[in-house]
Structure 1
């Protein structure tokens, strides 16, 4: 099963008064769901031929209904669209153009990512030199690379955000309609031709459409509807989703249909949008509680760092458990057994704690002052393309020593083109709000 990966609406330059405490709480809570879910998905046991990595949630009937509640990627992109809309509005009020806005997004997304990829690549090299079996090294690199699909996709739609916002301001219904037709058209074409590659187009269309829903939320268009209308929309979208999955048109497992995404995730996103809108008054009240506010603020200030580092942390913890089991120090129950489930609360708590420590130590790359973004359209486009390619390289082959080097070089090109003047020159630095994942 492809992991999430989740998961940001970068709040570059937003004034604190423009922030929505309820949305920030949803962002933080959703990221916690991602980490917890991935903790369950990292299953490791000892087989006759050595270590066996497996997804403990894959292939189990019980996970199908659960997936409707824990598939938060549509919510990630909705909240991402909400925050991007507000951030872009604020940036324009300060005279920031589209190119500089995009370049700022590239800086904030790739700054923390390039560090993590370099560290993982170096670690894989050390593992290889130390004589760790090549299949285990490859498995570790593959597992760590899986959530990075989000980095490439989100960077791509952020690069298109100024154009998509312009379309939303001129013809919001037309934009939604065109994107919806594109999503359904890709699904139909992929199903009728049998060419699976066509479905990959929806990595763009689906998430652009869901992000567009976030623009509607940010503009107040959704909240202006009556409670009954919003409930009707949400229940109606859920009913259609249940119908198309029951008919076998789309997988009933909301994670099985994640990569590539389809119209099923759009329907789930509409359901989540309606629920979020209805819950916003309550969310604001909860978010204003001091402890909740402090925890959410800490998470949101390091959201990209948490997203990037939680999977390497999980792989290292799994490796420690494996070594402990081999040496008879730690128990290693088979994934899915009663003993395995009994140990999951402690496992998830350890995963949260270690991820928090690592994020605290490495979060400075996300929170630091950034060079002034470029105002050149050409360089902003080059930065976006190079950044997306840097993520794609890792997704195609997983993280290896070679792909890590290639990805770091591409991201270095992206960051250089996103900076005015290019990196290596005498950059001017500005303090901006740290990147936040879409809910994520």
Structure 2
């Protein structure tokens, strides 16, 4: 009996501790599902790693790519729509909490930049140096290039999330003024871009949906936070999920979209929006059970621990997987470690130990680098005159562009030394911008004084 009473107290203390640090009231179901989604992302990427020896040497490939059977499986493991939905829930909750305490939109954006950019700088610096070291050690340029490409692939999420974070105060204002019209307008934009891409065959047009699709799915999280689904009967939610999945089947099996939801990720298509609606309805159905599970297991502390390191896990899991793949190749060359052909019986049999080893190494790396995600923070308000506030907003906008731009450089050009240097310069400016503002202000004032003379 005493233990039963103590568990809710411990959970309440853990929640109060998080609220004291962040100013945000946590939702246990949202926090728990975010951790589950992060585990799914790690497991999926780990299963994609295919290492073997081909006629021309080592092969590092995506083992699940172009597999016909993987299409239906992708409907389950493609969880990025729900990831953005819970991100929208957290974003609107966090911004409203800061706004209630008198914070400005620029201060919110600055807080998000610091939280997201710090771990990214550490990643870019370490990966760039490591790849250069591999090149100097005589590793073939093709292998180094593939490693850099694979490591950089998941960074699209960081670039998009930085952009969304910069727009949150504006998006929340739109949501509060036009909660129905805003997502409908975004949906119209998504459909229009898809139609234009499919009718012209010009694939780059589809990348405009890299913003619109995730803006729309992010907005669904705003409605979740507002309790828009709380009054819906379970029968209605099941119907919404079923109708969404049926529509997804129609537009993929009989329509112009591929069945594989990972293919629909690049570029993002309407399919991800439809899948997101289904995931939202299913998550709403599961929320009471998730909350009950967290309470029964007293899991709030563990969930908070992982949640505070989520971006570090996301950023570092792929470098770890690529590094382990390289270690497997080295062990094959030196010790004769067998490398079973991807998707063969031996390969499937080795996956459990591969997942365990990968998880252990990721955990160790996260313990080392999580300090970058958890350190720092907003250092007080800098509001002053109206002119100063406008200058601060403009500077914050520039910092947001630099932060996202630094990641885009790596996505487009790869992890070469020059590209990494440019990315680090942009990310560094985004992070240190507030410290440069007083210096820039003095220079501007000095220039104005000289001009007036």
Same fold, TM-score > 0.5, yes or no: yes
Measured in 1, the distance between the counterparts of 2:170 and 2:231 equals 25
1:172 is paired with a residue whose SS is coil
More helix by share: 2
| Among 60, 67, 70, the residue aligned to 1:60 | 67
Alpha-carbon distance in 2 for matches of 1:358, 1:23: 25
Aligned pair partner of 1:170 in 157, 167, 177: 177
Note the 1:97-246 alignment, pairs <5 A: 97-246=104-253
For 1:258, the equivalent position in structure 2 comes to: 265
Aligned to 2:373: 366
1:317 corresponds in structure 2 to 324
Decide whether the 8 Å contact of 2:107 with 2:378 is kept in 1. no
Matching residue within 6, 19, 41 for 2:48: 41
The answer for the alignment partner of 1:15 in structure 2 is 23
1:382 aligns with 2:389: no
Alignment of 1:296-307 (within 5 A): 296-307=303-314
Question: What is the total number of aligned residue pairs between the two structures?
Answer: 414
- Could you tell me how far 1:369 is from its partner in structure 2? 2.9
TM-score calculated relative to the size of structure 2: 0.88
Distance 2:374 2:19 in 1: 12
Aligned to 1:288: 295
Moved more, 245-254 or 75-84: 245-254
Query: What is the CA–CA distance in structure 2 between the aligned matches of 1:291 and 1:318, rounded to whole Å?
Result: 36
1:85 CA displacement? 0.9
Residue 341 (structure 1) aligned with residue 348 (structure 2): yes
Structure 1 residue runs of 5 or longer lacking an equivalent are 1-9, 426-440
Q: Contact (CA 8 Å) 2:213, 2:273: kept in 1 or not? A: yes
What TM-score results when the alignment is normalised by the length of structure 1? 0.91
Moved over 4 A (4+): 10-13, 420-425
Distance of 2:439 and 2:291 partners within structure 1 = 44
Structure 2 CA distance for aligned equivalents of residues 113 and 15 of structure 1: 24
Q: Is 2:409 the partner of 1:401? A: no
Change beyond 3 A, Cα 1:422–1:317: farther
Per-residue deviation, 1:401 = 1.5
Which structure has the bigger radius of gyration?
2
From the superposition, tell whether residues 371 and 85 of structure 1 become closer, same or farther in structure 2 (CA, over 3 Å): closer
Instruction: Give the distance between the partners of 1:238 and 1:362, measured in 2 at CA.
Output: 39
Aligned equivalents of 1:423 and 1:395: distance in 2? 33
After the TM superposition, which of the residue ranges 171-180 and 365-374 deviates more from structure 2? 365-374
- List per-residue Cα deviations over 1:63-113 (Å, max 9, x = no partner): 111100100100110000000011011000111111110111111110110
Structure 2 stretches of 5 or more lacking a match? 1-17, 384-391, 441-453
SS in 2 for 1:370: coil
User: SS of the counterpart of 2:52?
Assistant: strand
User: Residue 416 of structure 1 contacts residue 422 of structure 1 at CA under 8 Å; is this kept in 2?
Assistant: no
Cα contact 1:151–1:391 (8 A) shared by 2:
yes
Q: 1:325-360 CA distances to partner (integer Å, 9 max, x unpaired)?
A: 122442211111000000001101111110001001
Report the CA distance shift for 1:422/1:114 in structure 2 as closer, same or farther (over 3 A). Answer: farther
Bigger relative contact order (CA 8 A; separation at least 6): 1
Q: Distance in 2 between matches of 1:145 and 1:11?
A: 33
Contact 2:110 2:378 in 1 (8 A): no
